[in-house]
Amino acid sequence: MRRAESGTQRLWALVARETWRRACRRIRSGPVYRWRYAGRTPERVLVAPPDLRLADPQIALEIYYGRFPLSGHLVETGGRSPFQMEVADRRWNRSLHGFRWLRHMRAAGSDLAAANARALVSDWIAVHGNHISGIAWDPAVTARRIIAWLQHSSVVLQGAEYTFYRAFLRSLAVQIRYLRSMVRDMDGGKHRLRARIALAYAALALPASPSAARIAARNLSQELEDQILPDGGHISRNPMVVMELLADLLPLRQTFANQAEAPPQALIGAVERMLPALRFFRHQDGGLARFNGMGVTIPDRIVSILRHDDTEGAPLLHAPYSGYERLSLGDVTVIADTGAPPPPAVSGAAHAGCLSFELSSGRHCFVVNCGVDTFGSEDFRPLARATAAHSTLTLNDTSSARFSYPPRVSRVIGWPLIDGPTVLRCERTDREGVQGFVASHDGYASRFGLYHERELALTDGGNRLEGRDRLFRAGGEPPRDNGRDQAALRFHIHPDVNVLRAEDGRLLLGAPGSDIWAFSADGFEPQVEESIFFAALVGPRRSRQVVILWHASQAPQVRWRLERVRAAPAAKN
């Protein structure tokens, strides 16, 4: 009961905080405040920071012909201004006003692309520059736009007339002052950190007083210390956030060097911790593990960032502050979520996947979590966040954390994760030739009086993964037969992997050109059921899951194993 009351208190605290934040934003966007955003216009852009994100000249051509493929959604303007169109897709609108697509114009490297970039920026200034409202002026979007305009100012200003040059700098200055006013009341997650990064960019790329540069660096340092954990993870526990922030922080570090300025020590330390953390989450196929809001990744994006990683050796195996464990022997990698949920204020994308794991072998992923459809319908998000969408144990078909609220609450705060589990134990069990851990959580204790413990051990040079899942009551007592002990172990299989049953009853997992793994469980016959893999590049795909159903009062634990029975054929030269 006390735990439920605590969750309710946290929920209404979030509602009150978000209501206050929105009220502050309305006041600071109103006519009474707008005069504070006027001021001196910078004379020039001193430096254009680099951009590490992948660019495609073909997209620049598509945009020239009025086709905007942004955030997985294509909009054809038909000759109209994209900034005057009513488009329902919110993510597309945020991408449009964020201007990261300017990098494709830079990649095109032509006068035509530069002229089109200039025309679109001029169009935005004319339509939205004097009206601080809507998605265009959402502080998170404004931060992205400031970074993009500075990074690609050389393209936008190429061949520009003096009137546009001044209008561009004037609008940029207004946006920077606006963001400086709004950043204090942004949520304490990645958006506020990116806003601090944008203001640090502005202090370096535009003429600024020494005091303004010091303040920007100090505020950035404080935000990095608050959000980047000692093991390099982000407080949201989302691997994607680590990658996205590095794409902004690495160019910022380079910009300090280009301006002969010493970067803040907090920036250097954060980058040096985050690069190994990014490698920690990387699977054998080059993608990132699908935990806590992670969707599809394009391996080339990760490679472009890891080129800046000067650290040597294998990735870390233990990320205690982020709440993850990694087992790695030979060409087999297992990554597991062994942490408590992130703070409610930054848990809007977090999942109820405690003690779930993923396994990759060779260049293929075999056991996965369902992930999220990054650019798809929001209707799938609750399904993807549920415990049943993860390779772990569910009890009574219930998620181990709560993220469903009345519509009037969700309209204010979204869907943060409340009443999530506490990790009671997480210990490494490594020994010679074996990597493993044992961890437990209490996500089901308040509702069903049961605790879940999982032990994993990777042995035999990476050819064998042994697992044990146990349910128990307080004090280690076995579960009671009270009708609330229906357990399900789920192992979601990557859609590229086929599942066949062998004559000996084991399930064989394999794909053309991949290893073959056999799954078995002591005393149980695993079943194969339908599943959905949300994190595919083309959108949700049908997949399979291996499921073991039983009553915990009859068998408090299940031992299972995955064994590599055939390695993939060696690649021919």
Report the alpha-carbon distance of residue 270 to residue 111 in Å, rounded.
38
Q: Report the pLDDT value the prediction gives residue 202, as an integer from 0 to 100.
A: 96
Cross-strand pairs, 69:
74
| This model's pTM is above 0.75 | yes
Tokens 């609750």 -> residue = 382
The single-letter code of the amino acid at 549 is L
pLDDT band for 458, please (50, 70, 90 cuts): very high
Edge-to-edge strands, sheet with 507-510: 423-428, 435-441, 451-459, 464-472, 557-566, 516-521, 507-510, 498-501
Q: Report the pLDDT value the prediction gives residue 297, as an integer from 0 to 100.
A: 83
Cross-strand pairs, 329:
332
Q: Report the pLDDT value the prediction gives residue 72, as an integer from 0 to 100.
A: 86
| Sign, Cα dihedral of 122, 126, 129, 134 | negative
Q: Report the pLDDT value the prediction gives residue 34, as an integer from 0 to 100.
A: 65
Task: List pLDDT tens digits, range 167-217.
Answer: 999 999 999 999 999 998 888 799 999 999 999 999 999 998 888 889 999
The alpha-helical segments, DSSP class H, found in 281-379 are 299-306
The pairing of strands 498-501 and 507-510 is antiparallel
Q: What tokens were used for 519?
A: 């799954």
Asked which of 301-305, 332-336, 374-378, 382-386 is least confident by mean pLDDT, the reply is 374-378
pLDDT band for 5, please (50, 70, 90 cuts): very low
Q: What value does the mean pLDDT take over residues 234-259?
A: 95
Residues 6+ apart with CB under 8 A from 1: none
Tokens 């291996």 -> residue = 546
Closest CA to 125 of 94, 177, 171: 171
Q: Report the pLDDT value the prediction gives residue 133, as an integer from 0 to 100.
A: 87
Of the segments 129-133, 149-153, 211-215, 511-515, which one has the largest average pLDDT value? 149-153
Q: Report the pLDDT value the prediction gives residue 1, as an integer from 0 to 100.
A: 39
Query: Using CB atoms within 10 A of its CB, is residue 85 exposed (0-12), middle (13-18) or buried (19+)?
Result: middle
Closest CA to 559 of 568, 550, 572, 570: 550
Phi, psi (5° rounding) for residue 435? -120, 135
Q: What value does the mean pLDDT take over residues 227-254?
A: 96
The single-letter code of the amino acid at 9 is Q
Residues 6+ apart with CB under 8 A from 184: none
Report the alpha-carbon distance of residue 281 to residue 287 in Å, rounded.
8
Per cent of the chain over pLDDT 90 is 71
Report the alpha-carbon distance of residue 288 to residue 280 in Å, rounded.
9
* Number of helices (H), then strands (E), in the chain: 17, 19
Residues in the chain: 573
Helix, strand, coil percent content, the chain, rounded in steps of 5? 40, 20, 35
Asked which of 308-312, 419-423, 426-430 is least confident by mean pLDDT, the reply is 308-312
Of the segments 206-220, 372-386, 516-530, which one has the largest average pLDDT value? 516-530
Q: What tokens were used for 373?
A: 């459809």
Which is more confident, 538 or 409? 538
The single-letter code of the amino acid at 542 is R
Residues 6+ apart with CB under 8 A from 429: 436, 437, 438, 455, 457
Asked which of 112-116, 127-131, 336-340, 465-469 is least confident by mean pLDDT, the reply is 127-131
* Whole-number Cα distances in Å, 77 to 80, 82, 89: 5, 6, 14
The alpha-helical segments, DSSP class H, found in 36-110 are 57-64, 90-98, 102-108
pLDDT band for 568, please (50, 70, 90 cuts): low
Q: Is the pLDDT of residue 404 over 80?
A: no
Task: List pLDDT tens digits, range 216-236.
Answer: 999 999 999 999 999 999 999
Q: Report the pLDDT value the prediction gives residue 314, as an integer from 0 to 100.
A: 65
Bin 66: left if φ > 0, else alpha if -120 < ψ < 50, else beta.
Answer: left
Give the SS3 label for residue 258: helix
* Whole-number Cα distances in Å, 124 to 176, 389, 539, 558: 16, 41, 31, 60
Q: What tokens were used for 235?
A: 């407080």
Give the rounded distance of the alpha carbon of 96 from its chain centre. Answer: 20
Query: Using CB atoms within 10 A of its CB, is residue 204 exposed (0-12), middle (13-18) or buried (19+)?
Result: buried
Asked which of 258-262, 277-281, 339-343 is least confident by mean pLDDT, the reply is 258-262
The alpha-helical segments, DSSP class H, found in 230-368 are 239-258, 265-280, 299-306
Report the alpha-carbon distance of residue 237 to residue 337 in Å, rounded.
10
Q: What tokens were used for 568?
A: 């993939």
Q: Is the pLDDT of residue 547 over 70?
A: yes
The single-letter code of the amino acid at 53 is R
The chain-wide mean pLDDT, for the chain, equals 91
Report the alpha-carbon distance of residue 181 to residue 175 in Å, rounded.
10
Q: Report the pLDDT value the prediction gives residue 329, as an integer from 0 to 100.
A: 95
Q: What value does the mean pLDDT take over residues 139-167?
A: 95
